[in-house]
């Protein structure tokens, strides 16, 4: 047995019984895995991250027909140069999108929405970045349903429960990859196979060697 096949069967699964596989990565759900994997390093902010290139290579172990990556980006403030510190969040987010494309993913992205937060007496408490890809992921899963036999979903979000029930009704198999704490009961009830993400952490650890983020995501 080749080393890649051993790694595939040990960490993931033998893909032969699952036919054609589509992989959907909800990176907004996957990126916080880093807090579970490396809690001390990420106690105050994300210092150790999930490596997107390694994530793509992990998906490739099961030879998917296609792999999709969903992740939002911060808005570019055109009043300032891209290099300006006030566009640092934009640069960081498109850096991840660029890496996903280089890893062979089909990328779905859009602007993050900044949602204001208030306390119980109405005082403004800042804004939270939100970007939901439930619709985009559902559309990809349904409009391409005749092109795969198994959906491999990197997310434990309960919002996908009804979608996965529908896919099961169409004789599709469902594989879920998630940390145990983020695996919802709705997905637990419909999955054919669950892969806990915790044993994958050393395969996914981002080794930051002074990578310089690009100024714009590549098309």
Q: Is residue 123 part of a domain?
A: yes
State which residues of the chain have pLDDT below 50: 210, 212, 214-215, 217-219
Angstrom CA distances, 50 to 27, 168, 197, 200, stand at 10, 30, 11, 10
Supply the pLDDT for residue 105: 98
Strands 113-118 and 124-130: antiparallel
Please give the tally of structural domains in the chain. Answer: 1
Supply the pLDDT for residue 13: 95
Gap between the Cα atoms of 157 and 137, Å rounded: 12
Helix (H) or strand (E) holding 106: strand 106-108
Region for residue 171 given its phi and psi (left: phi exceeds 0; alpha: psi -120 to 50; beta: otherwise) = left
Query: 3-class SS at 21?
Result: strand
Gap between the Cα atoms of 91 and 192, Å rounded: 38
| First-to-final CA distance of the chain | 38
Q: Which domain holds residue 72?
A: 3-204
**CATH number (domain holding residue 47):** 3.40.50.1010
Q: Is residue 214 part of a domain?
A: no
Q: Is residue 106 part of a domain?
A: yes
Supply the pLDDT for residue 17: 95
Supply the pLDDT for residue 77: 74
**What is the per-residue pLDDT across 170-214, written as a single tens digit (0 to 9) for each?**
999 999 999 999 999 999 999 999 999 999 999 999 876 545 454
Q: Is residue 219 part of a domain?
A: no
Q: Is residue 116 part of a domain?
A: yes
Gap between the Cα atoms of 7 and 139, Å rounded: 32
């Amino acid at each position: 047995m080749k080393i890649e096949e051993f790694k595939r069967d040990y960490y993931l699964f033998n893909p032969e019984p699952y036919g054609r596989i589509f992989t959907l990565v909800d990176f907004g759900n996957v990126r916080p895995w880093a807090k579970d994997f490396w809690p001390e390093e990420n106690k105050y902010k994300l210092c150790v991250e999930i490596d997107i290139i390694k994530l793509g290579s992990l998906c490739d172990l099961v030879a998917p027909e296609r792999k999709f990556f969903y992740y939002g980006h911060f808005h570019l403030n055109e009043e300032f140069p891209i290099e300006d510190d006030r566009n640092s969040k934009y640069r960081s987010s498109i850096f991840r999108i660029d890496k996903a494309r280089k890893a062979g993913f089909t990328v779905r992205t859009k602007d993050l929405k900044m949602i204001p937060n208030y306390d119980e007496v109405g005082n403004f408490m800042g804004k939270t970045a939100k970007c939901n890809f439930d619709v985009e992921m559902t559309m990809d899963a349904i409009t391409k349903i005749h092109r795969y036999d198994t959906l491999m979903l990197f997310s434990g979000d309960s919002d996908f429960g009804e979608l996965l029930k529908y896919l099961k009704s169409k004789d599709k198999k469902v594989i879920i990859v998630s940390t145990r704490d983020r695996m919802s009961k709705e997905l637990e009830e419909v999955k054919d196979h669950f892969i806990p993400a915790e044993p994958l952490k050393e395969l996914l650890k981002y080794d930051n060697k002074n990578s310089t983020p690009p100024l714009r995501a590549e098309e």
